[in-house]
Structure 1
Amino acid sequence: MGKLKITQVKSQINRTQTQKRTLEALGLTRIGKVVEHEATPSISGMVSKVKHLISVEEIK
């Protein structure tokens, strides 16, 4: 499996508690922060829940 480069592009203010916890679980705490994760099914599920707040790029 490849890796995903995930960047937070929108604020978590006025979002539901589950979306805030998902961002925290991904390691995103502020706008502009970038994290890398393996492309596993659990990470893909978390990404789909907050796709409107993040930018995702696949790394080979």
Structure 2
Amino acid sequence: MSDGKKIKVTQTGSHIGRTDDQRATLIGLGLNKRHRSNVLEDTPSVRGMINKVRHLVHVEEEAR
């Protein structure tokens, strides 16, 4: 999975009213406000973080 692939993660939902661990996960992904994006390496740990806040983010495969 981590063969140099990149994924673009965009925050679509607000962190207001979410649990502290979901807020911390968004910060760990480099997101802190709606409509902000970050390009990350596609690793199992990043996928796990995305899965935890999947209702707050949109994920796209990054073109090389």
Common fold: TM-score over 0.5: yes
Q: What secondary structure, in the 3-state scheme, does the structure 1 residue paired with 2:34 have?
A: coil
Q: Which runs of 5+ in 2 are unaligned?
A: none
Q: Which residue of 2 aligns with 1:39?
A: 42
Partner of 1:8: 11
Write the distance in 2 (CA, Å) between the matches of 1:51 and 1:9: 10
1:56 counterpart residue number: 59
Name the SS of the counterpart of 1:31 in structure 2.
Answer: coil
What TM-score does the superposition give when structure 2 sets the normalisation length?
Answer: 0.90
Quick one: distance in 1 between partners of 2:25 and 2:58?
14
- Sequence identity (%): 45
2:20 equivalent to 1:17: yes
Report the alpha carbon displacement of residue 59 of structure 1 after superposing the two structures with TM.
1.3
Whose Rg is larger?
2
Moved over 3 A (4+): none
* Superposition CA RMSD, Å: 0.7
Partners of 2:51 and 2:33 lie apart in 1 by: 19
Q: Could you tell me the TM-score, scaled by structure 1's length?
A: 0.96
* Structure 1: distance between partners of 2:41 and 2:28: 14
